[in-house]
A and B are shown apart, each in its own frame.
Chain A
């Protein structure tokens, strides 16, 4: 099996690579590439993302044919994709970080700044927070309710259809931190930085 981590200059992805390689050992081949043919032929894709919504979308668009390839992979071929952090946020129709930017539109909704309640809550939301699992998601197999995950973000994904939400976390409000819609999976937190529980989620995705 091949799992491809999409390398599209979205910032630092070394931790994502390290964690997937740690979990995959020699059983699964982990590719790190933006090569369209390799993405097309892989079994699963991981879409990381750091920095702003706009910078990640721009970076995707800068690689000719990448967005179309991802659309085919996810929408036409219905193969599993895991978005992490801004990788999840880009599923939305639109994001408002820096400026209004069109997203991939895979899951209807928007990405807005977390309401910090007039400075009562610090932003970014950095650190370990517990997740409330609200839906049986395949990537949460064996993950206990209220497990701690590592977060670092200032924007949140607000999907229109609440049925896609698989977990939330409590900060200044109830923040969507994981979604699952058919073959599309996403985590706002960083499984690659969430110790053994995070690695378990990665393992669950690889084992789908």
Chain B
């Protein structure tokens, strides 16, 4: 039976791990390579690096981080943030990333998704959708949550599936950093619309939120940062808890 995945996410800025609250107010909390190794030894099903300020700053540091991590961690490594072109994707894959997540570029230039999934295979193309609720729909935000594109998130999700995305990483901008739980409505809506796996992100504050993301949001995988990062819960605890709730996990 296929297991639901738990993916710890490390926000990286200038080669160091940080975790933002609503994408601002950053705290420095360590070396990403060591953190990733701790997570992979602790049973992470996958590790995600998000280069958070990559759209604005020199991002060469992330290549070094990815290269070092991929020599130490033998679980899938997803890298996102500031990925603009097929060449950026190629470079990250060559450094040892297994999947690359594309956000702003997928919205501005959807051909990047089409071209890269053809070139590298859908298995390594994740489209990251940052969405915020507006009335009865969700709108896509880009540039680390600063620009509202007014694009309908659910329609965009379908379009990305058709363009060759292998997975969707769906983040609720309303919930990110708040620790009040995933936007379940958004997750389940997108998950029911597409036939590719959805990774739920944004808002995890406790282990029940992970359960809800899978059971109610129908996510294939759940991504979380701060609950693991600051030692509030270990991955082992999280997996045992999900298991106790009848969710298939790799233990």
Chain B hits for A194, CB < 8 A:
74-75
Please, which residues of chain A bring their CB within 8 A of the CB of B70?
Answer: 14-15, 18
Interface residues on B, range: 20 to 34
- Taking a contact as CB atoms under 8 Å apart, the answer to whether A122 and B121 are in contact is no
Q: Is B167 an interface position by the 8 A CB rule? A: yes
Q: Which residues of B contact A126 (CB under 8 A)?
A: 123, 166-167, 197, 220
Contacts A119-B195, A148-B250, A193-B98 known; A153 to B123 CB distance under 8 Å?
Answer: yes
A-B contacts counted at CB < 8 A amount to: 99
Q: Are A128 and B124 in contact (CB under 8 A)?
A: no
Mask, B46-70, CB within 8 Å of A = 1, is 0000000000000000000000001
Q: Which 4 A-B pairs have the closest CB atoms?
A: A51-B121, A12-B93, A152-B123, A128-B250
Which residues of chain B have C-beta atoms less than 8 A from A170's C-beta? 1
B40/A195 in contact, CB under 8 A: yes
* Interface-centre pick from A127, A171, A196 (highest chain B CB count, 10 A): A127
Residues A18 and B71 in contact, CB atoms below 8 Å apart: yes
CA–CA, A123 to B196, complex, Å?
5
Q: How far is the CB of A167 from chain B (nearest CB, A)?
A: 15
Partner of B94, one of A14, A119, A123, A193: A14
Does A124 contact B74, Cβ atoms closer than 8 Å?
Answer: no
Residues of B within 8 A of A152 (CB): 76, 123, 166
On whether the beta carbons of A15 and B123 are closer than 8 Å, the reply is no
Q: Smallest CB–CB gap between A94 and chain B, Å?
A: 20
Q: How many residues of A contact B (CB 8 A)?
A: 38
A196 to B1, CA, bound (A): 20
- Complex CA–CA separation, A3 to B121 (angstroms): 26
**Distance, CA A152 to CA B166, complexed state (A):** 9
A22 CA to B36 CA, complexed, in Å: 17
Determine whether B19 belongs to the interface, using a CB cutoff of 8 Å to chain A: no
**A129–B2 touching, CB < 8 Å:** yes
Contact A193 B197 (CB under 8 A): no
